[in-house]
């Protein structure tokens, strides 16, 4: 006799009880885990904060200050009117000022600015260096290089209540670790293979640095130079030097890039010796002679530069077989002669030299030589500005921008034309096009500066708010910065770029207990022409002169010394 089947309702009830038990158990486990993480995190943060505060106030050891940001942090100008110089950047001057104005403590200020760095790159580098640097104070001024496509953390789409859970943050960190390993901006670089994928696959943009013919036919040399450029951009100057010296020893290449790096370190005589050695070793590479003249131009030794250019031009004419690809050497030689004429304010001579430039760069050399067409347009534009021939200057610079819209120097030159002629409506139109085309936060800032200059200050807040709305990485990567500072017990200092209201920073770096904010809006009001460097570097935001970096460093020192009650000498550095 068969047993009657159990009622279906009893089976469903048991399944429901089992499911409820699993759900309840899971929730209980998550709650316990969340509670443990919250308590553990709070305890860890409190311990780290106490250690760092004790270190600042104990009088023992040094106070380490770490400055992060882009090239406005990494470099400044110098007395010889060179730009991109790390030794005059505000962090270097800040260290001197802090140690001069007080004697109670020893300050060490570290510069971790990245030329061209985004907030993602800045935070990724910070995460990798914090364990070894162990700063007590962290100063951040960053964001102008971000675009709408910039990487943001995986938890960004989640609601605020969920991202506040430590268990969710722990899971997101595990996921991010995998993503960062695949897409990070690494700092431990030993070879080309260690570079980020975007840098390894980039096909142009190196010519302004390399400027020699050999790497165009030698992939290993080209990769070594790209690696050195990357390290130079993230501030690993000694390592970049080491790679280039090794390349010189192995293959006799890398001289121009190394001479530029050495020159930026105020080692002019060494830079000259490098290029003398290059010419002696490979006299057939005419670009080495051009680089020699370029060094003297940067050093404002016009007579030596002229002599080198005249000698090289004579040799190229009399014995072209002396040079590799003399048809390529000649136009760049003429461009350098035009540059010399511009610097000496011989504008008609500059236009004559530019008119003599013929030919175009073979694709073979586009990774190792600067773009001839854009240089030519820019030189003519600058010459016409010198002659106050505004329509011709506008024509040439518009042409240059159409070829390379990201070369900020040409937009800056064009803006000087429009401001001199009262056509700021044209500049606004062009800057809005750049905002739409590139999406870079720097372009929003430039547009805001124009509005303030033309008496439309009421439009500035909306422009900056638009930048924040369209660039999620600003807010998200500042949140990562806050978390890192909190986890490590670091005093976080947030600054806005000089000339802009501090209120503009709060939408992406909100006020928070324990976070200091430095208002730089009026720091350069006394003499902005002396403090802002004219942009002669492609894709630059406005950099600072040595004097500007000094004024900014003094302003920062006021806040730091007042915060820690250490200002006891009140003396100014020279």
Which residues 6+ apart lie within 8 Å of 243 measured at CB? 224, 227, 228, 231, 254
Q: CA 520, 429, 374, 274: dihedral to nearest 10 degrees?
A: 0
Whether residue 497 is predicted with pLDDT greater than 50 in this model: the reply is: yes
More confident residue, 574 or 232: 232
Nearest to 476, CA basis, from 508, 522, 431: 508
pLDDT mean over 270-288: 94
Length of the chain: 574
Q: How many CB atoms lie within 10 A of CB 27?
A: 10
Q: Could you check whether 40-146+481-563 and 185-335+361-369 share the same CATH topology?
A: no
Q: 48: pLDDT confidence band, cut at 50, 70 and 90? A: very low
What pLDDT score was predicted for residue 198?
67
What pLDDT score was predicted for residue 8?
61
Residues 427-440: tens digit of each pLDDT: 999 999 989 988 89
Q: 187: pLDDT confidence band, cut at 50, 70 and 90? A: low
Enter the tokens of residue 269. Answer: 């005589």
Residues 195-240: tens digit of each pLDDT: 777 677 776 678 888 999 999 999 999 999 999 998 888 778 889 9
Right CATH for 371-470 from 1.25.40.10, 3.90.420.10, 3.40.109.10, 3.40.50.150: 1.25.40.10
Q: How many CB atoms lie within 10 A of CB 479?
A: 19
Q: What global pTM score does this model have?
A: 0.76
Residues 142-166: tens digit of each pLDDT: 999 999 987 655 444 555 555 455 5
Token look-up 């050891």 returns 61
CATH T-level fold of 40-146+481-563:
Rossmann fold (3.40.50)
Out of 1-15, 48-62, 226-240, 352-366, give the one with best mean pLDDT: 226-240
Domain segments of the chain as ranges:
40-146+481-563, 149-182, 185-335+361-369, 371-470
Output the CATH code of domain 185-335+361-369: 1.25.40.10
Whether residue 53 is predicted with pLDDT greater than 60 in this model: the reply is: no
Whether residue 500 is predicted with pLDDT greater than 60 in this model: the reply is: yes
Q: 182: pLDDT confidence band, cut at 50, 70 and 90? A: very low
More confident residue, 404 or 533: 404
């Amino acid at each position: 006799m068969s047993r009657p089947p159990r009622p279906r309702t009893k089976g469903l009830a048991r399944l429901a009880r089992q499911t409820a038990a699993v759900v309840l158990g899971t929730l209980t486990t998550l709650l316990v885990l969340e509670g443990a993480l919250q308590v553990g995190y709070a305890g860890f943060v409190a311990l780290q904060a106490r250690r760092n505060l004790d270190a600042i106030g104990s009088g023992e050891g040094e106070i380490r200050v770490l400055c992060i940001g882009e090239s406005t942090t990494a470099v400044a100008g110098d007395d010889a009117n060179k730009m991109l110089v790390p030794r005059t950047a505000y962090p270097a001057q800040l260290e001197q000022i802090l140690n001069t104005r007080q004697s109670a403590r020893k300050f060490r200020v570290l510069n971790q600015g990245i030329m061209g760095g985004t907030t993602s790159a800045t935070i990724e580098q910070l995460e990798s260096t914090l364990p070894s640097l162990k700063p007590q104070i962290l100063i951040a001024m960053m964001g102008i290089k971000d675009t709408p496509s910039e990487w943001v953390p995986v938890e960004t789409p989640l609601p605020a209540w969920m991202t506040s859970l430590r268990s969710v943050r722990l899971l997101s960190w595990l996921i991010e670790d995998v993503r960062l390993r695949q897409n990070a901006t690494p700092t431990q670089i030993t070879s080309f293979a260690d570079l980020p994928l975007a840098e390894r696959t980039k096909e142009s943009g190196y010519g302004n640095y390399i400027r020699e013919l050999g790497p165009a036919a030698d992939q290993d040399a080209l990769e070594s130079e790209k690696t050195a450029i990357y390290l130079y951009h993230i501030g690993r100057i000694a390592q970049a030097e080491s790679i280039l010296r090794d390349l010189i020893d192995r293959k006799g290449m890398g001289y121009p890039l190394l001479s530029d790096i050495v020159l930026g370190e105020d080692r002019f005589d060494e830079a000259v010796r490098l290029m003398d050695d290059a010419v002696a070793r490979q006299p057939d590479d005419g670009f080495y002679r051009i680089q020699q003249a370029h060094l003297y131009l940067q050093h404002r030794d016009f007579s030596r530069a002229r002599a080198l250019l005249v000698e090289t031009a004579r040799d190229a004419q009399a014995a072209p077989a002396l040079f590799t690809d003399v048809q390529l050497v000649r136009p760049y030689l003429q461009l350098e002669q035009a540059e010399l004429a511009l610097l000496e304010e011989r504008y008609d001579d500059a236009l004559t030299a530019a008119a003599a430039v013929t030919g175009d760069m073979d694709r073979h050399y586009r990774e190792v030589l600067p773009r001839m067409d854009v240089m030519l347009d820019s030189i003519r534009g600058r010459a016409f500005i010198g002659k106050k021939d505004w329509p011709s200057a506008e024509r040439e610079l518009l042409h240059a921008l159409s070829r390379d819209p990201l070369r900020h120097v040409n937009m800056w030159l064009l803006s000087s034309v429009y401001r001199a002629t009262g056509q700021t409506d044209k500049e606004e139109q062009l800057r809005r096009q750049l905002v739409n085309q590139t999406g870079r936060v720097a372009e929003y800032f430039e547009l805001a500066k124009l509005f303030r200059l033309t008496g439309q200050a009421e439009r500035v807040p909306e422009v900056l708010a638009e930048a924040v709305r369209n660039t999620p990485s600003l807010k998200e990567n500042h949140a990562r910065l806050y978390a890192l500072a909190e986890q490590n017990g670091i005093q976080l200092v947030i600054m806005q770029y000089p000339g802009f209201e501090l209120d503009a920073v709060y939408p992406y770096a909100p006020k928070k207990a324990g976070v200091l904010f430095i208002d730089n809006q009026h720091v350069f009001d006394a003499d902005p022409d002396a403090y802002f460097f004219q942009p002669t570097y492609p894709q630059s935001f406005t950099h600072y002169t040595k004097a500007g970096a000094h004024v900014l460093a003094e302003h920062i020192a006021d806040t730091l010394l007042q915060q820690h009650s250490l200002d006891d000498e009140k003396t100014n550095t020279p």
